[in-house]
Amino acid sequence: MTARSPEAVGVVGVGWVGLVTAACFASQGHEVWAMDVDAAKVERLSRGELSIHEPGLPELVREHQERLNFTTSMDELLANAKLLFCCVDTPPTYSGDADLSRVLSVVEQLSGDSEHALVMKSTVPSGTGESIRRDLPTLAYVSCPEFLKEGTAVQDFLHPDRVVIGADPGDEWASDAVAALYEPLGGEIVRTDVASAEMIKLASNAFLATKISFINEIANVCEEVGADVTEVARGMGLDERIGDKFLQAGIGYGGSCFPKDVSALKQLAGNSGYHFQLLNSVIEVNELQKRRVIGKLTKHLGSLVGKRVALLGLAFKPNTDDMREASSLVLSARLQGEGAHVVAFDPVAHEGAEGILPTVELADSAEHALEGADAAILVTEWPEFAELDWAAMAGSMRTPLIVDGRNFLDPAQVRAAGFAYEGIGRGADA
């Protein structure tokens, strides 16, 4: 058997998914051409400078720089690679549908093309591939949704659970080439049609979000009946049919994917004439979950007018500086709406927070955020928050009260340090 020569890879859109895709394929020995319309970003990346916080990614980019070509030129991409991975973002519109304008501007540039394959990694509504095929019948089209998580993106990409490759008859050369790129990574390769591949992505994210909203509602019931949701989740998760992942109750899911994709699937169903009742509840539960924290504070403090409330963490989850749709945004606005003064600390989301939360006081350490505070809310489970000297923190606060929005701290330990502790669904005193 002769060894396959590495396939050159084109990447369009060098955001989170695009950069991880580019760096990981480069690490597998492929020459990568990555294009973005943002000239300043391309220039920074060519110098090896990254503007996102993603563990392992800077090292990977630096290590494989000789195979990573960043450019603003689509022609350069077309001249060097046959497979063009489309990784542009599809943010939500005001109606909740996905905004496909960036995808369509990529498609426009491929009009009349019969040499290349567009490999769609951007999350798009089911039916997008079909409409692109209608407009560009000679272009090969493959749906290859991405399942990586921010914070563990490199690991997820290089060790996938599964790789979904959707293509319609006539485009086998392209889907075979994509499959060959992924085969060395392991993980089952799911070959299917384009519409089903698009649906697998949306349904997977909607299912995970449903799991989170479900356990959050169980947590709320646990508070009423004196049960502990962490015990309930542990007991449930051992059933293989349920599984233990994504059963952590908290103050709701955030990020650039779940809120957008759940809403996009709901709209997609609605636009096709089906009312997706369950997803309405998933979204509503998530919204209410962020706000329940206010009740936990007022139970101890009464009115929040003039109270100083410290937020520990701003990012939508640890190991990222991403604050898109983070629970901290709704929470800080609600607290300010109640008349509280909000002070916050995040180990990495700090710089971005200045522009997004102009009325929130940003502290340079967790200790400074907690000093003189009437209450603390743990918003993001950054490991370093578990290492804080909680007895010293209790001494420095005006009222040693903590709402643990991620059930991250050990309640017994924090109570022993002098705190009133409120978790999410952790018994009657939670």
CA separation for the pair 366, 285 (Å, rounded):
29
Instruction: Compare residues 175 and 210 and give the one whose CB is closer to ligand UGA.
Output: 210
- Look up residue 200 and give its two tokens: 């697998």
Q: Shortest Cβ distance from residue 75 to ligand UGA (Å)? A: 29
What does the radius of gyration of the chain's CA atoms come to, in whole angstroms? 23
Please name the residues in contact with 366: beta carbons below 8 A apart, sequence gap of 6 or more: 312, 345, 384, 385, 388
User: Which C-beta is closer to ligand UGA: that of 252 or that of 411?
Assistant: 252
Long-range contacts, stretch 231-240, CB < 8 angstroms, 24+ apart = 232/425
Helix, strand and coil percent figures for the chain, each rounded to 5: 45, 15, 40
User: Beta strand pairing status for 361-362 and 375-378?
Assistant: unpaired
Site of tokens 């955020």 = 369
CA distance readout (Å), 65 to 33, 56, 59, 195: 11, 14, 10, 36
**Per-residue exposure over 339-353, b if at least 16 CB sit within 10 Å of its own CB, e if not:** ebbbbbbbbbbbebb
Return the structure tokens found at 31. 């020459």
**Distance between CA atoms of 133 and 140, rounded to whole angstroms?**
8
Minimum distance, C-beta of residue 406 to ligand UGA, in the bound complex (Å): 7
Active site annotation includes 257: yes
Cβ 60 to ligand UGA, closest distance in Å? 18
The nearest distance, CB 313 to ligand UGA, in angstroms, is 10
Q: How far is the CB of 130 from ligand UGA (least distance, A)?
A: 21
Shortest distance in whole angstroms from residue 15 CB to ligand UGA: 10
| Strand pairing report for 83-86 and 68-71 | unpaired
Task: Catalytic residue, from 24, 144, 222, 257: name it.
Answer: 257
List residues binding ligand UGA (CB under 6 A): 123, 146-150, 205, 208, 212, 246-248, 250, 253-255, 257-258, 261, 316-317
- Cα 87 from Cα 284, distance rounded (Å): 29
Contacts of 98 (CB under 8 A, 6+ apart): 90, 91, 92, 123, 124, 125, 260, 264
Based on CB atoms, which residue is closest to ligand UGA, 147 or 276?
147
Q: How far apart (Å, rounded) are the C-alpha atoms in residues 405 and 141? A: 43
Q: Nearest distance from residue 355's CB to ligand UGA, in Å?
A: 21
CB-wise, 252 or 400, nearer to ligand UGA? Answer: 252
- The closest of 328, 313, 324, 291 to 380, measured between CA atoms, is 313
Number of H helices, E strands in the chain: 18, 14
Least Å from the CB of residue 17 to ligand UGA: 7
Positions marked catalytic: 257
